[in-house]
Chains A and B, each alone.
Chain A
Amino acid sequence: MKDIIKPIIVLASICLVVTAMLAYVNYLTDPVIIRAEEEAAAEARCEVLSKAKDFEKLDIDGLPDGVTEVYKGSADNKLCGYVILMQSKGYGGLIKLICGIAPDGRIESVKTLSHSETSGLGTKAVDNGSGYREKFAGKTAQSYNDVDTVTGATISSTAYKKAIGLAFEAFGMIKEAEHENA
């Protein structure tokens, strides 16, 4: 009997101690993790819609598949534009982008949040330093498709453009919803 009980007690107590330890570490780190994530998100929002100071998260039903979050950006109670977070599937996995669109429907700036594209090929489109994202500045829902795909990164840049298309789709819906409210 002792042969059975002792292992059970030891294993159970080790589990308990380890879980208690983890709960404590979680208690210490959880607020830090949340704050770091929020700071990073806020920083990205400010970067793509530089004029705005305050951001308000919008809840809109039926946003296209791939659009994850939308924010209204304003400064001194004046509308500056909208920030849209979207994703689409590239060569190596999801490409997550953040995009700021001015009230007149022009892209202010786009930025890659995360991607898993091939270094040296797909990164020619999705890397923030590659110069590809600057080509979309000032584009509208009609003209964004004129931006060429990057040689050697066709799939990645197509996915990039697809995500931007989603952002415009969401933008249209936001405008409609705001119009109804007003």
Chain B
Amino acid sequence: MTKLIIILLSAVFINNYVLVKFLGICPFLGVSKKLNSAFGMSVAVIFVMLIATAVTWPIQMFLLEPNDMEYLQTIVFILVIAALVQLVEIILKKFIPSLHKSLGVYLPLITTNCAVLGVTILNIDEGYTFVEAMVNSLGSGLGFVLAMVMFSGVRSTMEGSDIPKSFRGLPITLIAAAITSLSFLGFGGVIENLFS
């Protein structure tokens, strides 16, 4: 149990996908302008990360590894994720239209999101069991939410300020991201020692 909590908290705070590992930067910078869309996007990311892990982990363990085909990992994972996202979108559209309305627009954007492919590959690389892999995916997704929501708050306070001309737009956003990322450095090592 302790191990699962450590995995979860490390994924959220220490190895935050966006601010520490630099995965999923595009949506982080692109969709974080408004709180609503930032939140919608991140919920869709958690959703896809969990499903993707639930499908790719068994594929790796029961299909690729017994047949010595680990080298097909990247190609199989990306195709599975792409197909999965399409499938989820169709299912949502048909059966839960209200959810599709709020999440659906973000789903296609996620197919080529490096955070999703990243989490599935890292789960294998770290040698996690199925439960650990799912917990790690959940934690990574939650970390993504945290970073997105925090950052959209930072950006909204930046909105009215007078910014030098060449810094307007992306540069100031990146510098704000640097400061947000700095705040996450403080978590390093804390969680391991909470339980020891």
Q: Which residues of B contact A8 (CB under 8 A)?
A: none
CB interface residues, A 160-179, toward B, < 8 Å? none
Which of these binds chain B: A18-26, A53-61, A72-80, A126-134? A18-26
Asked if A26 and B188 make an inter-chain contact with CB atoms under 8 angstroms apart, the answer reads no
Which of chain A's residues has its CB closest to B196's CB? A162
Count, A-B residue pairs, CB within 8 A: 19
Interface of B is mostly: helix
- Whether A155 and B188, one on each chain, are in contact in the complex, defined by CB atoms closer than 8 angstroms, is yes
Is A22 within 8 A of B75, CB to CB? yes
CB pair B189–A91 under 8 Å, yes or no, is yes
B193, closest chain A residue (CB): A155
Min Cβ gap B7→A in Å is 11
The answer to whether B71 touches A26 (Cβ under 8 A) is yes
Say yes or no: A22 contacts B188, CB within 8 Å: no
Query: Does B65 reach chain A (CB closer than 8 Å)?
Result: no
- Which residues of B (158-196) have their CB < 8 Å from a CB of A? 188-189, 192-193
Report yes or no: A22 in contact with B71, Cβ–Cβ below 8 A: yes
What distance in Å separates the Cβ of A170 from its nearest Cβ neighbour in chain B? 19
In contact, B75 and A155 (Cβ under 8 angstroms): no
A37-71 vs B, CB cutoff 8 Å, 1 = contact: the mask equals 00000000000000000000000000000000000
| B192–A89 touching, CB < 8 Å | yes
A residues near B (Cβ < 8 Å) are 18-19, 22, 26, 89-93, 118, 154-155
A-binding residues in B (CB < 8 A): 15, 71-72, 75, 188-189, 192-193
